[in-house]
Structure 1
Amino acid sequence: MDGTLRRLKGIGARKEALFARLGIQTISDLLQYFPREYEDRSRIWPIGSAPTPSPTPVLVCGTVRSVQELRPRRGMTILKVLIADDSGAVELTWFNQPFKKKVFHVGMDVAAFGKIEWAYGRRQMNSPETEQGGLSPEQGFVPVYGLTDGLRQNDVRKAVREALAEAERCPSLLPGWDGGRSVCGGFMPELQAYEAMHFPPSMEVRRKAREQLAFEELFDMQLGLLLRRRQEGKQMGIKCGPNGSLLKQFISQLPFSLTRGQTQAFLDIQADMESEVPMQRLVQGDVGSGKTVVAAMALTKIVENGYQGALMAPTEILAIQHYEEFLKLFRGLPVRVAVLTGRTTAKERDALLEDLRRGNIQILIGTHALIQKDVAFCDLGLVVTDEQHRFGVRQRAALQGKGRAPHALFMTATPIPRTLALSVYGDLDVSSIREMPPGRKVVKTYAVGEAMRRRVYAFMEKLMAQGQQCYVVCPLVEESETVDLQAATALYEELRATVFKNRPCGLVHGRMTGKEKAAVMEDFQDGRISLLVATSVIEVGVNVPNATVMLIDGAERFGLAQLHQLRGRVGRGSQQAYCILLSKGGSEETRQRLQWMEKIHDGFELAEKDLLLRGAGRLFGYAQHGLPDLKAADIVRDISLLTAARDKAADYLKGPVDEETIYAALERRFGTRFQGLLNN
């Protein structure tokens, strides 16, 4: 049945377009567009007793005593409406809204909602919301929604009331479906729960409604993830044999011993690959924890079983870095490794693709170039995606589609708590590498203010004089690549012309071509550049053991996860490394974040802290994973609900289910994100 907004009274083409800007296209979307806050209009204050000044808006009712319009200068009008009750009077004022003069007349009863202030010896309420008749129809807790230009609060409130009435006439318009709701067992009828979220009679009722709807939402989401996992489980994958001589030789010639975390992660992978069900596993671990070696072991295992492997990295720099590392790891072994990026020449590319089709290349490393149509494998058995959150769902699926149900291994250096992994990676098995390789020194981290800038520069100069190298990461000015680039360029020019004029300096930023960035990075890796000024493009994919200082300018503008990623770029050699967080103050939250960076060096622990500070959505954008943004639920505070919902969903799928009905319900709830949820 048609559930578009045009079905609602008062919604024409113009308003439909405005709601679409907010991501609201259906009645179901509108019902899930919950208020960001509520105005407390549950109490009508006697005007004389109302707190003045009032820290929050208050509701008063009175009779109009006078209506006055002032024109203090050309192009400006001030409307003053004095209302009073038995306890006192308050003046309602509006600037440059002359049309309101026709609304009011002496003797009319008016309800007004706004903040009261003292002005010129009397109570005043500037630009209040008013209702004629004295009693506001919006008494109680009134919703306040996020808006877009052209939409007013009343537009959304009226539309939501219409949507609730329409859903009462046609319950199938409600998100979710009856089967799921019956399993979840709510406190109140579904429609009543949505009404309580938008127009709650009390905050306690609203709390119960949110908990009920959050559980149902998490149940539906987990059901979708488990269904996707079930679909993958039906596929016949590549059943590998026990570890053979090639893998044993690979491990024996490693120049170091595997950590306990690396060993356990590979045992998990080994069990997956020796099963008939295609592996879907995420390995998460801090920068430098040794994920790449674990991936190389998995690729060795697939090669000795007669298949090819592919590793996709998000940047050219990182792909080449992996290639160079793999050449060392596979030295002396009968495994041919190749790399394909945008820099590969047409002649080299043609020869490489021919060898790949014939099966002469066992492991191919590359960037997005791997998913181009003409890249064809002889028999692809394992796909490894590095820094997987940097790729969209379709890109990852496109690479897996180049084989017949290949095993899939995902790696990320952005550790996330187990509870969040349940939701974001609900369809994956997760292995975590917690410890760092032995001998790696902790990066000493200091949070300092602007007053320390000169001393920091002097410290960097001292280390560069000893032959060490330094990074300077520029502050994020705003959500504008152009402005950030200008800031980076200005700082680079200033440093190379003044403080570090005797040192070779380089600059990398996001607007440079891959070839330009790679050339600068090559100079830095080879030691021809002592100081590298960069935007946060160096967050992933730089390994320079001789770099010992990471100066993050404007550290208050970065999140914990990003600061930790940047810190991981130093401390990769035998020398002591330093991360200096230079900030210009900031909020209490900012100070807390920088203090944690000084004290905590475990990425998993920092991820927990970041989650508490910033919430799941901002820490880890769901869209990257093809997962929907949650409307009622919050993964941070709803951990127990998430776990219970997952258990309920798993139990539900043990019995006979109508998958088509479930798919339709998930599409109604999650809209276009539904495709990412099920068709990864």
Structure 2
Amino acid sequence: MPALAELPVSRVHRVGEKRAEALATLGIETVLDLVTHYPRRYIDRTRQASLAELQPGDEAVVLATVQASSTRRTRQGRALVEVDVDDGSGRLRVGFFNQSWRARQLPVGTEAMFFGKVDLYRGRRRMTNPVVDLVGNRTGRIVPVYPTSERSGVGGWEFGEWIDEALRRAGELLDPVPPQVRSRLGLMGRTEAFRAIHAPQSFDERDRARHRLAFDELLRLQLQVVRRRIALERDARGLRHVVDPPPERALVARFLAALPFSLTDAQRRAVEQIDADLAGPLPMHRLLQGDVGSGKTVVALAALLTAVQGGHQGALMAPTEVLAEQHYLSVQRLLGDLTVPDPGRLSGTRPLELALLTSRTPGAERARLQQGLQRGEVDVVVGTHALITEDVLFSSLGVVVIDEQHRFGVEQRAALRAKGRQGGGADPDLLVMTATPIPRTAAMVVFGDLDVTELDELPPGRAPVSTHWARTAEDEQGAFERIRAEVASGRRAYVVCPLVEGSERVQAASATAERERLAHGALGGLRLGLLHGQLKAADKEAVMAAFRAGDVDVLVATTVIEVGVDVPEATVMVVEDAQHFGIAQLHQLRGRVGRSDLPSWCYLVSDADSPEAVRRLQALESSTDGFELAEVDLELRGEGTILGVRQKGRSDLKLASLRRGDRSLVEAARTVAEELLGEDPTLHGVPGLAEEVDLLVGEEDAAFLAKS
């Protein structure tokens, strides 16, 4: 494959300069790009609807040949191309409005697939503006249909001819997957797989070809992940934490004992797994994921306090200032009046020192904090990227927790390691938290160099949230009536403002206007508070304190309430223009209610009718399981949103899927990657494989795999 990547696509006959330029608009510049431009679907010639049996109102795919073609203008001045097509059983007229180029695309004698709805016009059956796929001169029973674009001017049928020639002239392709692995997994050879994906003799052969080539894509990704992990472990400077200290230093035990609730079994298992990592010789690299409300913060805080009880420091890093401030307030409440040993004090102890550091921290306060961190006087710091700037030095950074990890890059992780190594120290242990679950299969790829801990259990006494999609004005009125009824019963509610494009200032203005609208309308007479990202930290806390105390009935807010806000008395949430939010964000927002044994409701206000919005809102209406919703989200949005923004996309997953169907393939690729690198860390004994990984998943392109 590396050899094919060096050949320009113009080496294929009939791909001249103009055709090469057209292909470049589709991202096809080399012969490798061409042969990995896979069909988007396949046509079974024996399974198409016959024209003779089509009835008005039928939606169908027909395979037919153009018998006649004409172009004219309608009375309204629109261009109309009409072609008569025949499949041997009958005829059909196909019309295209304002698509003059169809006359050039569909000359007499052209065989094509037409997909559309049949109607009657002047007593004659007709299809209007159907989807068209050109078949060309391919005579096999199964016809591949290739992705193309009108802008490129490349016909889908041309790909079949070009790819057939390229594979024929390339001859036998080097197969870097060892024969014993292919045999064990039942994989067909690579040369056969490329032929069968483009020109299958049967659908079973096509499926086996896809299975083999998808495995190759996943194996390359997993080899890079495992290789990176081996390198990290080889270069690591570990720190063995004290997880079972004498009573006077047992900070974690005192913290857990003081909590006003008991840990769930899942939380206990998570703490045990993390303790085992912290006590070990290698730095921890662990992903902690759980559903909304599953108690990730408590588990993360136990890890940070393990560092403190051993004389080190802990850092919790969030992607935004708003999230950092919310974490700080949440951690502050959980820590209470926890103390740490201090021989310099008469009492022998001092309060545990918690600090917040963001770009909003005033200069004098920042200087004091930096001094405290460098001297070891600050035990736990919560912050944003400000924590990894050059002027922030730690006395001994022991554990780092990163929240919303996918927003951080590989450079940030390197910077955090450097913070730990200052003054001859060790690599800090790393715990990554996701705000909402991501599918398990995707986690194996995206977070492949992390061990995974899942909190799959919610605290007892939580009532499930009843979710309703409010489609009409009457439904929306019902939602606000629910708020009034709950407030009358002493409960509280949230109204989440529509997501507005633009800066935090624009969001704040929108939220302010919405509060005024509600105060003089649907929620008139109730005490309405306002929370948005532009408020100063003290003002935010004052609003939240009033809401918690019951001095505010309804909190009108932007998505700043997405995480970290815990008010058990809040039982209703109304999300306005819900179609603008993603599944994960809506699920996260919904997690702000249902935090007690009181019945709770979430209303998603939206009149959207696009298929994706409908599927998204229906999924939230029918499920409160974050793992299940993560799978739906992946199916709707595709792998790209999870893999993140990539470098030039040769290595994008073209056949493999991170959806449920390929889970076993991901796991098989991981196992093979670990076996191959375990026996031969350089892959020198596997001809071509290392070169292929470097070509298709190069270091830069693989950075997304190590964002932790």
TM-score range, shorter chain: 0.7 to 0.9
Q: Aligned partners of 1:151 and 1:497: how far apart in 2? A: 55
For residues 118-139 of structure 1, the C-alpha deviation after alignment (integer angstroms, 9 at most, x for no partner) is 544456566789999x973476
Q: Which deviates more, 413-422 or 90-99?
A: 90-99
Assess, with a 3 A threshold, how the Cα gap between structure 1 residues 52 and 180 changes in structure 2: closer, same or farther. Answer: farther
Q: CA deviation at 1:472?
A: 1.6
**5+ unaligned residues in a row in structure 2: which ranges?**
341-351, 422-426
Q: Match for residue 183 of structure 1?
A: 181
**Within-5 A mapping of 1:211-610:** 211-234=211-234, 235-245=236-246, 248-253=250-255, 254-256=258-260, 257-328=262-333, 329=335, 331-334=337-340, 335-404=352-421, 405-446=427-468, 449-450=471-472, 451-465=474-488, 468-474=491-497, 491-506=514-529, 513=534, 515=535, 519=539, 522-527=542-547, 529-555=552-578, 560-572=583-595, 577-582=600-605, 584=607, 601-607=624-630, 610=632
**Aligned letter for 1:676?**
F
Assess, with a 3 A threshold, how the Cα gap between structure 1 residues 177 and 301 changes in structure 2: closer, same or farther. Answer: farther
Assess, with a 3 A threshold, how the Cα gap between structure 1 residues 88 and 562 changes in structure 2: closer, same or farther. Answer: closer
2:643 to 622, 644, 647: 622
Q: CA deviation at 1:543?
A: 3.1
SS of equivalent to 1:638: helix
Assess, with a 3 A threshold, how the Cα gap between structure 1 residues 474 and 68 changes in structure 2: closer, same or farther. Answer: same
TM-score (norm 1): 0.82
Q: CA deviation at 1:421?
A: 3.0
Maintained 8 Å contact 1:282/1:431: yes
Maintained 8 Å contact 1:286/1:415: yes
For residues 237-269 of structure 1, the C-alpha deviation after alignment (integer angstroms, 9 at most, x for no partner) is 112244214652442252333332222211111
Assess, with a 3 A threshold, how the Cα gap between structure 1 residues 152 and 411 changes in structure 2: closer, same or farther. Answer: same
SS of equivalent to 1:643: helix
Maintained 8 Å contact 2:570/2:594: yes
Assess, with a 3 A threshold, how the Cα gap between structure 1 residues 57 and 533 changes in structure 2: closer, same or farther. Answer: same
Q: Which deviates more, 403-412 or 536-545?
A: 536-545
Please provide the CA RMSD for this pair.
4.5
Q: Would you say 1:151 and 2:155 are equivalent positions?
A: no
Q: What is the number of equivalent residue pairs in this alignment?
A: 666
**Aligned letter for 2:696?**
R
Q: Which deviates more, 262-271 or 572-581?
A: 572-581
Q: Which deviates more, 222-231 or 117-126?
A: 117-126
Q: CA deviation at 1:575?
A: 5.5
Q: Aligned partners of 1:197 and 1:20: how far apart in 2? A: 22
Q: Aligned partners of 1:38 and 1:306: how far apart in 2? A: 63
**Aligned letter for 2:693?**
L
Maintained 8 Å contact 1:389/1:624: no
SS of equivalent to 1:229: helix
Maintained 8 Å contact 1:243/1:301: no
Q: Aligned partners of 1:127 and 1:588: how far apart in 2? A: 20
Maintained 8 Å contact 2:10/2:20: no
Q: Which deviates more, 529-538 or 214-223?
A: 529-538
Q: Aligned partners of 1:529 and 1:163: how far apart in 2? A: 67
**Aligned letter for 1:498?**
G
Q: Which deviates more, 310-319 or 473-482?
A: 473-482
Q: Would you say 1:675 and 2:699 are equivalent positions?
A: no
SS of equivalent to 1:219: helix
Q: CA deviation at 1:586?
A: 5.5
SS of equivalent to 1:318: helix
Maintained 8 Å contact 2:353/2:377: yes
**Aligned letter for 1:431?**
T
Q: Which deviates more, 578-587 or 356-365?
A: 578-587
Q: CA deviation at 1:417?
A: 4.7
For residues 168-224 of structure 1, the C-alpha deviation after alignment (integer angstroms, 9 at most, x for no partner) is 54579x8x9624687335654424423433444443322121111122222222222
Q: Match for residue 42 of structure 2?
A: 38
1:631 to 654, 675, 685: 654
**5+ unaligned residues in a row in structure 1: which ranges?**
none
Assess, with a 3 A threshold, how the Cα gap between structure 1 residues 88 and 242 changes in structure 2: closer, same or farther. Answer: closer
Q: Aligned partners of 2:707 and 2:675: how far apart in 1? A: 22
Maintained 8 Å contact 1:440/1:571: yes
Q: CA deviation at 1:12?
A: 8.0
Assess, with a 3 A threshold, how the Cα gap between structure 1 residues 162 and 89 changes in structure 2: closer, same or farther. Answer: closer
Q: Aligned partners of 1:271 and 1:350: how far apart in 2? A: 36
Maintained 8 Å contact 1:318/1:542: no
Assess, with a 3 A threshold, how the Cα gap between structure 1 residues 326 and 644 changes in structure 2: closer, same or farther. Answer: same
**Aligned letter for 2:691?**
A
**Aligned letter for 2:454?**
S
Q: Match for residue 643 of structure 1?
A: 667
Assess, with a 3 A threshold, how the Cα gap between structure 1 residues 349 and 166 changes in structure 2: closer, same or farther. Answer: farther
SS of equivalent to 2:240: coil
**Aligned letter for 1:244?**
P
Q: CA deviation at 1:226?
A: 1.8
Q: Which deviates more, 338-347 or 465-474?
A: 465-474
For residues 96-119 of structure 1, the C-alpha deviation after alignment (integer angstroms, 9 at most, x for no partner) is 6778879999xx755454357654
Q: CA deviation at 1:271?
A: 1.1
Q: Which deviates more, 329-338 or 441-450?
A: 441-450
Q: CA deviation at 1:482?
A: 12
**Aligned letter for 2:639?**
G
For residues 314-369 of structure 1, the C-alpha deviation after alignment (integer angstroms, 9 at most, x for no partner) is 33233223323444516342342211012201222122223323333232210122
Q: Aligned partners of 2:503 and 2:50: how far apart in 1? A: 49
**Aligned letter for 1:407?**
D
For residues 590-609 of structure 1, the C-alpha deviation after alignment (integer angstroms, 9 at most, x for no partner) is 7887677567544345545x
Q: Aligned partners of 2:148 and 2:447: how far apart in 1? A: 32
Assess, with a 3 A threshold, how the Cα gap between structure 1 residues 469 and 518 changes in structure 2: closer, same or farther. Answer: farther
Q: Aligned partners of 1:401 and 1:432: how far apart in 2? A: 29
The share of aligned pairs that are identical, in percent, is 38
**Aligned letter for 1:652?**
L
**Aligned letter for 1:643?**
E
